[in-house]
Amino acid sequence: QKEVEQDPGPLSVPEGAIVSLNCTYSNSAFQYFMWYRQYSRKGPELLMYTYSSGNKEDGRFTAQVDKSSKYISLFIRDSQPSDSATYLCAPAGGATNKLIFGTGTLLAVQP
Amino acid sequence: GAVVSQHPSWVICKSGTSVKIECRSLDFQATTMFWYRQFPKQSLMLMATSNEGSKATYEQGVEKDKFLINHASLTLSTLTVTSAHPEDSSFYICSARADNRRVSGNTIYFGEGSWLTVV
């Protein structure tokens, strides 16, 4: 079983739609949960991060963590064409103290 | 905000030659840096953890003699792809962890990546 599982997509939505991106993970020691956005041919940029379970909102983005089911989500409201990118989840923490990425979900927001 | 600089941003080399990629933390010290490789339409795969003043820790399946990592100072780590072959062509990305901080959302900073093409 991979440490982090993520649907690679691609996911295509119309502008203004609500987008739901999800990941599952296997290591219960993970405590920090990050979402990165990566545009084509660029390094990843941190979008949001949460600590432990719960929700965190930042503008149009909401990150949700359910540690009991080892499930993490990113919601994008009022999606824009500029949101078109690959979104990578990356839980971290525990003994290894390194960042492990999911496969990334390619999102395309159609104008 | 914190900046990590990678150089070169792209390089083309001949098969059999060696290529060095630099990763610098510009405004913070980073005892620990990470090197990732990303093939087209795939995720970032951690290759190794680079530790200043000591040997790098390689992930399973990564050839340490082929991907030489040197972390000679608190702000610089280098990745040298030795005897490069076309299958080594990839996007190499480094990240740096701000010193004395555990890996979390706001302590890891990524470089812009280096495109390597081996012909």
Q: What is the mean pLDDT of residues B75-99?
A: 93
Cβ-defined contact of B42 to A103 (cutoff 8 Å): yes
Q: What's the CA gap between A46 and B95, in Å, rounded?
A: 12
3-state helix, strand, coil in chain A (%, to 5): 5, 55, 45
Question: What is the pLDDT tens value at each position of chain A, 111 positions in all?
Answer: 678 899 888 999 999 999 999 999 998 888 888 999 999 888 888 898 888 888 999 999 999 999 999 999 999 999 999 999 999 999 887 666 677 888 899 999 999
What does R_g of chain B's alpha carbons equal in angstroms? 13
* B22 C-beta neighbours (distance < 10 Å), count: 17
pLDDT tens digits, one per residue of B23-40:
999 988 888 899 999 988
Q: Which pLDDT belongs to residue A96?
A: 61
- Residue B103 scores a pLDDT above 60: no
pLDDT tens digits, one per residue of A66-89:
999 999 999 999 999 999 999 999
CA end-to-end span of chain A: 37
Q: Which pLDDT belongs to residue A101?
A: 86
Q: Which pLDDT belongs to residue A95?
A: 64
Strand B45-51 to B108-110 pairing = unpaired
Q: Which of A99, A100, A101, A107 has the most B C-beta neighbours within 10 Å, making it the best mutation to test the interface with B?
A: A99
Q: Which pLDDT belongs to residue A11?
A: 94
Q: What's the CA gap between B31 and A1, in Å, rounded?
A: 31
Q: Residue A8: list chain B partners with CB under 8 A.
A: 41
Q: Does residue A31 contact residue A97 with C-beta atoms inside 8 Å?
A: no
Strand A19-25 to A71-76 pairing = antiparallel
